[in-house]
Structure 1
Amino acid sequence: MRADRLVATLLLLQARGRVTATEVAAELAVSERTARRDLEALATAGIPVYPQRGRGGGWALVGGARTDQGGPTVGGLRELFLLTDGPGVPPSPHEGGTPHLRALERAVVDGTQVRLGYERPEGPPDERIVHPLGLATKAGVRYLVAGTGEGRGAGGLRIFRLGRVTSVEPTGAPVVRPEGFDLATVWRSLASTVEERMRAATVRARAERGAEAALRALFAWRLRLGGPLAHGWMAFEVDGPSPEALAAQLAGLGARIEILAPREAREHLARLAAELAALYGPPTAPRAG
């Protein structure tokens, strides 16, 4: 993806201070023409990158970047800030247009705190100041690893799903990077904790054919699709923190899904339906008398 390539190019510039299009092309396994266009794109985007002519020239990054030529390779730099499932794993369809990805990539690379607007799975959206430390991808879904200063989890570190980010506002304050921070190690720890919590309950259900995209958008890696059923239905299972939380998420699909088990999920969905019908249903006709 070009966005990933641009970030890798910028990281290489930050490590070495000055590079040539030939060096970038060799590191990223692209043509020199593509490397040159990426360098020009960084300059056009407002990043202080400019070409230097003559012998020993190339492209330089203004702002105190190191100029030693023994800096780490792009592969090593990516491990500092960007983790992916590996080559050939595309982003989930509903994540592909994440509008705030570029702003967060920039915050991670620049080491700038941001005011993050975030839509929580349960409860109203909120805003908080976070320290962006890296980006990771799991099953095609992108996440931000950030410090929150709240003292929770791994020393206040949390992960945020990019699909739920509603706003990103740089504060100008520098990121405080924990001593000895290693993105791969922290990601494994946080992701395993979240995964355990999100597998605490399982709901079995059926859905209309064609609802697959909506289900993937809601549950990503927690969704397991089954085989076709009679009358145009398909079976599926989904994991979550509780039957009630899963029922609340599935409620938005209306009659396109039917929860089969467990009983707690069905009862919670029935209560939600009754509450909504009482609030939004047609007014009761007055009695004659």
Structure 2
Amino acid sequence: MRADRLMAILLLVQRRERVTAAEVARELEISERTARRDLDALAMAGVPLYSTQGRGGGWRLVGGARTDLSGLTASEARALFLVAGPASAATPAVKAALRKLVQALPEPFRLQAEAAASSLVMDPQRWGSSRAGPGAPRFLDELQDAVIRGVQVRLGYVDSKGAETVRTVHPLGVVAKGPWWYIVAGTETGRRTFRIDRVSSADPTGDPVHRPGDFDLAESWREIAAEVDRRRSPLEIQAVCAPDGLGLLRAMLGDRLQVGSATADGRTEVVIRGFNEYALAGELAGLVEWLEVTGPQGVRDHLAAIGTALARRYSGTNASPTPSNTL
């Protein structure tokens, strides 16, 4: 559509301050003749656009590129780039289109918009309970704004035991883990992760964040999540699983399951993490049709004991009558 093309030309001129018809044609994949006609049409429509001839000539905006012709505010530009960023669920085509638009914004807007793109990681895998989270926490916007602007925050925080502390942190990124929100920040004692629904206050200090030059939020979060998983599930067991049971095992265990190579008999080697031997045995007892635990021996012993108890409870004369569905 021509209206879309005219807006694209305006944004292009604003970003570069001076363009030639050839540059517009190349950027928008149109002919030079069409580019010149569109530039003339913008000028005739009252847009403060003028052309100069000779060496260094081209089309410019009167007064330079000091106005955001897209009509976006700084906060709207940041929100736009959040949609276009890697954490977004938008389609690749939508992301590409939005990123092109943001790249055409004035530099002050563009810098904050680009910072917004790297400020958020979405991790859909839950930790532990399937209960619903608290929704968007109170200080989420303030903390994400501090990440984008690169300013330190005086943070009030209430830990899991109810103790409140106040400290100055260097916000580095925001993470959504399932329904829960976290802020990754640098502190005097190193990098820390804070659950945002436990934040009691968040006051920007205006001082710049000390951000490691090689910091990558997505990679940092992978390391943090892996360490938390190791602490939550310190025990590993080895097993082999029949092909028919692998899908059920994945559904039950999620990221606590590590799938290995196939064995000679067609089964698959797996490693399963859990909190302790008895809890893992109880969790896996119902999968005996597909799963054979090979170690450690303590888990095998618990499984054998559970099997004996189940046989004693549900076989022979002590078995309870089969429930009837009739009234």
Instruction: Give the structure-1-normalised TM-score.
Output: 0.43
The structure with higher relative contact order (CA 8 Å, sep 6+) is: 1
Instruction: Give the structure-2-normalised TM-score.
Output: 0.39
Which has the higher Rg, Structure 1 or Structure 2?
Answer: 2
